[in-house]
Structure 1
Amino acid sequence: MAGNRDRFSTFSTATRLKELGERTAAHVYRSQSRRHIRRSRLTGRAALLVLVLCTLVVALAYPMRQYVSQRSEIADQQRAADHARKRLDQLRDEKARWQDPAYAEQQARRHLHFLRPGEVGYIMTDPGSGAAEHRRGGQSGSDRPWYSNVWDGVDKADRPGE
C-alpha cells in the first residue's frame, strides 16, 4: 500500500482522479460487455425456443383439427347407430305382432275392410265433413273399400275419352 501512495504522491490529484476514472470505466465496460454477451446468448436461446414452439404448433395444428373432426364424426356415427338399434327393436316388435294371426286379421279388417263369411259390412260417412267430391253413394275414394277403388280404376281405363 505504501508503494501505491508513493506512486500517487508523485502525480497530481487530477492525474490520480483521471487514472481512477479510467480504471473504473474499464471495469464497468467489461462487466457490461459480459452482461451483453449473456443477454445475447439468452436472446438467441429464447428465439430458438420460440421458433421450436411455433414449429410444433404449426406441425400439430392439422393433426389436432383432424382429431377433433374425427371425434365429432365418431359421435355422429354412434348416434346414428343408436337410432338404428332403436328402429331395429321397433321393427322386431312389429314383426312379432304380425306373427300373431289375431293382429294380422285385425289389420286386414281395419285397412282392407275384410269381413268374415256371413258378416255384413257398413261404411258410414260423416255428412257434415264437407267433402266436395263424393263418389258413388255419397262415399269418397278414401272412405270406400279398396276393391271398389280398383274396379273404378279398371272402368276408367276402359273409357280413356272421359
Structure 2
Amino acid sequence: MAAKDRDRFSTTTRLRLLGEQTAARVYRSQTRRQAHRSRLTGRAALLALVLCSLVVALAYPIRQYVSQRAEVAELERQQDEARQRVEELRDLKARWKDDAYAEQQIRQRLHYVMPGETGYIVIDPDAVKKSRTDQGAAARPWYANVWDGVDKSDRAAR
C-alpha cells in the first residue's frame, strides 16, 4: 500500500504542481493585460485632458467669432436699410423739384386754391361726432398742433 500511496501522492503532487503552474501563467497573463490596460487608460486620460484643454482654450475665441459675425450681419442689414431710405429720399427730393407735384401736395396738404378757384372742404358727419368725443390732437387743425408744439418748446427753453 505504500506504493499506491506514493503514486497517489505523486499524482496529487503533479496535479498540484500543474495547477500552480497554470495559476502562475494565468496570473502573469492577467498582470500583462492589466499593465497594458493601465498604460492605455493613462494614454486615454492624457488624450481626454488635451482635448478638454483645447475645447476650453478655443471656446471663448469661437464664441467671440460667432457673436462678431452676427454683429457684422446686423450692421450690413442696417446699412442696406439706410441705403434704401437714402434712395427713397432722393426720389422724394426729385419729385419735389417738379412744380406739378409740389403744387399738388400744397393743394392737398395745406388746402390752398389757385386765384379764382373756390375751395370746399367736405366734412364727414361721423367724423365730426367722433372729433367731439375725442377732443384730441387729431380733431384739431394741423396748424393748431404746430403752434402748440412751438409754445411747448418755448416754455421748455425758459
Q: Where has structure 1 moved over 6 Å in runs of 4 or more?
A: none
Question: 5 Å matches for 1:5-154?
Answer: 12-127=10-125, 129-130=128-129, 131-132=131-132, 141-142=140-141
Aligned residue type for 2:132: A
State the shift of 1:98 in Å.
0.5
State the percentage of identical aligned residues: 61
Gap change, CA 1:13 and 1:125, over 3 Å in 2: closer
**Structure 1 segments unaligned to the other structure (5+ residues):** 1-8, 134-139, 154-162
In structure 2, distance between residues paired with 1:124 and 1:14: 129
Rate the CA distance shift 1:121–1:34 in 2: closer, same or farther, 3 A.
same
Partner of 1:3: none
Structure of higher CA gyration radius:
1
CA distance in 1, matches of 2:55, 2:25: 45
TM-score, normalised via structure 1 length: 0.68
More displaced stretch, 124-133 vs 46-55: 124-133
Deviation, 1:69, is 1.7
Q: CA deviation at 1:122?
A: 3.7
Deviations for 1:23-47, whole angstroms, at most 9, x for unmatched residues?
A: 2222222111111110000000011
What do you get for the CA RMSD once the two structures are aligned?
Answer: 2.9
Supply the distance in 1 between the matched residues of 2:36 and 2:23 (Cα, whole angstroms). 20
Normalised TM-score (structure 2)? 0.69
In 2, Cα distance between the equivalents of 1:132 and 1:101?
38
Tell me which protein shows more helix as a share of its residues.
2
In structure 2, C-alpha distance between the alignment counterparts of 1:82 and 1:118, rounded to whole Å: 48
For this pair of structures, how many residues does the alignment match?
A: 133
Q: Call closer, same or farther: CA 1:31–1:132 in 2, change over 3 Å.
A: closer
What is the distance in 1 between the residues matched to 2:132 and 2:25? 113
Query: d(CA) in 2 for partners of 1:98 and 1:67?
Result: 46
